[in-house]
A and B are shown apart, each in its own frame.
Chain A
């Protein structure tokens, strides 16, 4: 009898006959819906996983993860309680049963909330009316069967297959490592997402000369920040990245001081003074054998370069937006890095201030440094850049290199005059773009291969 109960719980999450009937209805409905969304329908037979797959059909994968974990815990507890039930009759394990019951109640609340979220997603996905929610909440199997087998109900988009590789076309080239400059040979950058491997970046190869200021272009979610993190070695990819002959990955501890990464936000302690902030940065970033006098001189020099001397005693939080940006850059510049990476340094600045900042970066590049900049308003300062990197999401939402070269070559390659037009060309149609990313990724791969 217990074996039957356990089997019932494993297959249908319940042992009651009416519950099993509803579960069978749900499985049948999921089967049809999974097929429509491009998910393997056999997943509908697997308890817990079927709800996760359903969340992907609804475009609510993060909620699905929580629901999956909740379901697994509840399933395990259900099984334990089924066994413990017998023992209770013999007067044992009642405390365990009580504790599990209390936990099950908490999890039930979580399950209901996340189920509502996922149902709301599936309703949006099928462009259905709001009242369907009541059916989805109380007799899930019924709407599942209707939506699964009635051709009238179709999902807006297919569920994303996280396991799929990116666009098949790859350049197949590798850039030779140089003694100077930055060489990037990135095969892939993946991330584990809920036991699945997700491709974030793939097939990016380039060589950037010293003294070049490079614009990094790409639509939202193209993987610009991921690419920069992979280049500076903080989040490692399957790649070989060398800077002036040194391998950033294998010699990261030494090379990290040669790379300055300026994040988008001003990540500094607002309650510290400008001078103290820079002094601490110098003590952290400069070599330890440098004399105190030289270190202080470097701090003064950097303050002078970035126009921070008049506000040296001010608290960081009291600075203007432009001053904060400059201080943020100064923190990285203090160690005189060879590679300078800036993530939207001009965000929040007006045109004049943004131009001034970019000119300052140009000056730094002219000292033989490599500057890579992400900006969403590139055209007003495009004359200051030497090269452009264009990243695009391919049809499988993997970040790919759509172009790397000079500004003029980029205009010619995409047949567009402005950088903003280039971004629009590669952006997906649902994002308001032309959706030609795959075309240019393939074209550039062929160019590289040739």
Chain B
């Protein structure tokens, strides 16, 4: 009788009894998870994060934040570290206590509270891991700036936030896998596939075929890599691979046997736009009469020529007439000395000597060319004009045209010649500093990627994508546990 009365009272009171809702349940489970952190060795993920960061720092510290390649490599490594940490944090957390969850759900646990508690707990774990990761990278010598942050006051803090968000999104992905898998073995079997998928489709390191590039838009790693690359200012860094390769090849000899025609064809090619820039380059080829005279008189060849006796017996006038009219000296006469051509000089000399005995003076075996020059007082004339500037500025195009229009050179089109030069000599010829700057700048321009542009909009967008990923995965975890898997949970 007493039992019946008790039961009746119990039935009545059921209508009014309210149990803890979702919010308080989150707190209950958060406390449980924090205890698990201590007792179930979940804390081990923290030193593991430090070890992984230390190992990665050995690879990236040389050129991260210094060169384009280093930044891409560093961005990829950081994305991998963050994804790895996140995935391993939660891959087993649900499946290892699946039956316990079933029991507790039966006792009134809300799945959404359970997942929310995991989200908060995992967020805390990821945050601490991210801090540890960046701290270890810095103390290991990776040159991460402590100031000049894009979003916050510090680049290191910006990077910590990105590592945290990438880790957290990956963590939620693993939580979803853990919710789907019925055992830890299954979850750990799926895990490598997910990691490989994330790494392959990160889109930065591996060249993907066009049809599969779309897939990379759905991977955390792709956005992680972009965000890290943007934060390390990828686009404004020099690209050093080509230059480093050239430097390594300095001792290598290049060249071969070519014909004059091949070089001429190259110079004559109007469609070669690289030549346009070359042709427009100006060369300053001015010198003084004195400089020219000194060069000539210090040349052993010229000295030998000057001392050599003249064979033919000719008058000075005849020599002058020969120089003025002989077809062999035509190009010599056209030589422009800046203030006059050689022909004009010869003509004025001829007029000077008109009626002079000197013109009829016969030059024979007893004379050398030096005697002639002394007779003509050439040296005095040179001294008079010693400071007169000869020559002019001209473009490489003019030089090239002079070469390709020269009939003598054209006549030798089939003549072979051998070119042998080392890469080092070539670099020295162009100028090492100029060439390095030119190659690094040009290759960096070619490698520019809009998605890696360092600006607030890009980075904030990527952060929002990570949060969106995390929310979607968490929601899917709830759906999987609450609806899809209800009977088999």
Contacts and interface: CB of A to CB of B under 8 A. Distances in A.
Contact of A368 (B3, B19, B35): B3
A315 interface: yes
Interface string A176-215: 0001110000000001000000000000000000110000
B11 A246 contact: yes
Contact of A258 (B10, B20, B32, B209): B10
A332 B19 CA distance: 15
Contacts of B11: 179-180, 243-246
Interface stretch (A51-59, A107-115, A263-271): A263-271
Majority DSSP secondary structure for residues of B touching A: helix
A284 B25 contact: yes
Contacts, number: 106
Contacts of B387: none
Residue of A180, A257, A268, A272 with most chain B CB atoms under a 10 A cut-off: A180
B19 A288 contact: yes
A267 B7 contact: no
Interface stretch (B96-104, B140-148, B190-198, B400-408): B96-104
A42 interface: no
A271 B40 CA distance: 6
Interface in B1-59: 2-4, 6-8, 10-11, 14-15, 17-21, 24-25, 28, 31-32, 35-36, 39-40
Contacts of A288: 18-21, 24
A256 B104 CA distance: 11
A76 to B, nearest CB: 20
B109 A368 contact: no
Nearest to A287: B17
B106 interface: yes
Interface stretch (A12-20, A60-68, A275-283, A411-419): A275-283
A268 B102 CA distance: 11
Given A284-B107, A284-B108, A244 B36 contact: no
Interface in A271-317: 271-272, 276, 280-281, 283-289, 315
A246 B39 contact: no
A285 B107 contact: yes
A203 B107 CA distance: 28
A245 B15 CA distance: 12
Interface in B201-232: 209, 211
A280 B15 CA distance: 24
Interface string B430-452: 00000000000000000000000
Contacts of B24: 283, 288
Given A180-B7, A191-B487, A271-B39, A256 B107 contact: yes
Given A210-B7, A256-B108, A284-B25, A368 B2 contact: yes
A235 B97 CA distance: 20
B17 A368 contact: no
Contact of B28 (A210, A263, A284, A338): A284
B106 A261 contact: yes
Contacts of A191: 487
A265 B28 contact: no
A320 interface: no
A237 B11 CA distance: 23
A: interface residue count bin: 35 or more
> For chain A, what secondary structure do more than half of its interface residues adopt (helix, strand, loop), or is it mixed?
loop
Contacts of B97: 269
A105 interface: no
A257 B35 contact: no
B107 A272 contact: no
B442 to A, nearest CB: 33
Contacts of B108: 256-257, 284-285
Nearest to B25: A284
Contacts of A380: none
Contact of A255 (B14, B28, B35, B209): B14
A181 B6 CA distance: 11
A267 B17 CA distance: 27
Given A276-B35, A280-B31, A269 B100 contact: yes
A81 B5 CA distance: 73
Contacts of B25: 284
Contacts of B6: 210, 368
A286 B106 CA distance: 14
Contacts of B4: 180, 210
Interface in B107-161: 107-109
B241 to A, nearest CB: 30
A265 B99 contact: yes
Nearest to A242: B11
A254 interface: yes
A232 interface: yes
Given A210-B3, A276-B35, A283 B28 contact: yes
A172 to B, nearest CB: 29
Contact of A284 (B10, B17, B20, B100): B20
A234 interface: yes
Nearest to B15: A254
In this complex, the member of B10, B17, B18, B100 whose beta carbon has the largest number of chain A beta carbons within 10 angstroms is B10
A276 B104 CA distance: 15
B23 to A, nearest CB: 11
Most buried by A among B7, B32, B103, B211: B7
A287 B10 CA distance: 13
A255 B19 CA distance: 11
A285 B24 CA distance: 12
Given A246-B11, A254-B14, A280 B487 contact: no
B107 A332 contact: yes
Interface string B169-193: 0000000000000000000000000
Contacts of A289: 18
A284 B2 contact: no
Nearest to B29: A280
Contact of B209 (A95, A268, A271, A286): A95
Contact of A287 (B2, B8, B18): B18
Nearest to A180: B7
Contact of B100 (A179, A232, A235, A267): A267
B14 A287 contact: no
A180 B39 CA distance: 44
Contacts of B99: 263, 265, 267
27 contacts: A95-B209, A179-B11, A181-B7, A191-B487, A210-B3, A243-B11, A244-B11, A254-B17, A255-B14, A257-B107, A258-B14, A263-B103, A268-B100, A269-B32, A269-B36, A271-B35, A271-B36, A272-B32, A272-B39, A280-B32, A281-B107, A284-B19, A284-B28, A285-B19, A286-B19, A315-B39, A368-B7
Given A269-B36, A271-B35, A338-B7, 18 more contacts: A95-B209, A179-B7, A179-B11, A180-B8, A210-B3, A210-B4, A245-B11, A258-B10, A263-B99, A267-B100, A267-B103, A269-B100, A284-B104, A287-B19, A288-B18, A288-B21, A288-B24, A315-B39
Interface of A: 95, 179-181, 191, 210-211, 232, 234-235, 243-246, 251, 254-258, 261, 263, 265, 267-269, 271-272, 276, 280-281, 283-289, 315, 331-332, 335, 338, 368
5 tightest A-B contacts by CB?
Answer: A368-B3, A271-B39, A180-B7, A244-B11, A271-B40
